[in-house]
Structure 1
C-alpha cells in the first residue's frame, strides 16, 4: 500500500520551514501532497495559483511531491486522495495546542487518518508565514526565509 501524506495549509507564503517538513516527510511517506487550502476567513496576501506554481517549482526534482489546491474540509480531501496521513510541523507548544484540536476533529471525520507531527528544525523555528508577510509588507527582504525568490514570484504574478 502506498503511504500518502497530505500536508495541508494556507502556505501564504510557503517558507523554508514548510520545505523542510516536506523533505523530511519524504523519508517517511511514499508521496507527500501539499494541499493549499482555501480558508474563507483569511484574505490571501499572495495569489493562490501563483503560490501553487512557486511550490511546484520548488519541488520540480521531487516526483513524489504533488501540489494541489482544495476548497473542502481537510479530512474529506485526504480521503479523496487516498491519504491516510496528515503531515504537520510544530514550532512550539502553541502550535501543538492548536494542531492537536484539529487532528482530533480530522480523526472524527475520517477515522483512518493519522496526523504525524514533525518538530521544526531549530534553525527554521522562528519562521512563520505571518512574520514573512509583515516583513514584506513593510519593505524588508524576505528571500532568506523562502525556497524561491520574490522576484520569481513577481514574474509568476505578472504572468497569471
Structure 2
C-alpha cells in the first residue's frame, strides 16, 4: 500500500509570484498533497500581513485540489510536523541561492531528521523572478503583468497607492490682518537708547 506523501512549501510570499505558482504546480505533480506555508516573518518587514498574503494565494491555487494554504509563526519544521509533511520544497533560481538554501536544509535536517528537503528549479522564464524585484518595479510604476497572478497584481497596486499617498502637511495659521497692519505702522525705535542705569 502506497502512503500519501505531503510536501510543505514554506515562504514569505510577499507577494506570491508566478515563480511561486510554477513551483507549486511542479510539486503538485510529484506529491499527493502540497501545503503552502506562509511565514508570519517578524524578522523582516512585509508589505502585506500574513492573513492578506494567505488571502492572495488561495484564489491562485483554487483549481488545484491537492494544494492548501496555511500560515505559521514558529519554526518551519514544527509547521511541517503539524501538517504531516515528510518533505519541504525549496526553490533554486540560480547558483547564488544554493549556499543559503544548503545551510538551511542542513539546519532543518538537524532539527527534524525525518523531514527531507527537495530542491526544485522553476521554469526558465521565472529564474530571475523574486518578490522584492516585483515590489520595486511596481513602486516605480513599471509593468508587473505576467510576473504575478492578476489578483495579486490588483492588490499590490492598491496597497502601493495607499502607502505612497503623501501625508497632508498642516497649513500654518495666517496672521490677522489688523496685527500685520499695526506692526507696519508702528514708529521705528530710536537708536542708542538702552535701559536706564541706577544712580
Q: TM-score, normalised by structure 1?
A: 0.92
The C-alpha deviation readout for 1:70-114, integer Å capped at 9, x for no partner, is 001001110111101001110111111111110111111110111
Structure in which a larger fraction of residues adopt strand: 1
Q: Which moved more, 1:81-90 or 1:142-151?
A: 142-151
- Pick the structure with greater CA Rg: 2
Q: Give the unaligned 5+ runs of structure 1.
A: none
Question: Which residue of structure 2 aligns with residue 151 of structure 1?
Answer: 154
Aligned residue pairs: how many? 157
For 1:49-128, list aligned pairs within 5 A. 49-128=51-130
Root-mean-square deviation (Å): 1.8
| Whole-angstrom distance in 2 between the partners of 1:78 and 1:51 | 19
Aligned counterpart in structure 2 of residue 35 of structure 1, from 34, 37, 40: 37
Distance 1:148 1:117 in 2: 27
Q: 2: distance between equivalents of 1:88 and 1:125?
A: 13
Structure 1 position 126, deviation (Å)? 1.0
Q: Offset at 1:38?
A: 1.5
The structural deviation recorded for 1:2 is 1.4
Q: Which has the higher contact order (CA 8 A, sep 6+)?
A: 1
TM-score, with structure 2 as normaliser: 0.74
**Which 5+ residue runs of structure 2 have no aligned equivalent?**
160-199
SS at structure 2 position matched to 1:24: helix
Q: Counterparts of 1:71 and 1:154 in 2: how far apart (Å)?
A: 27
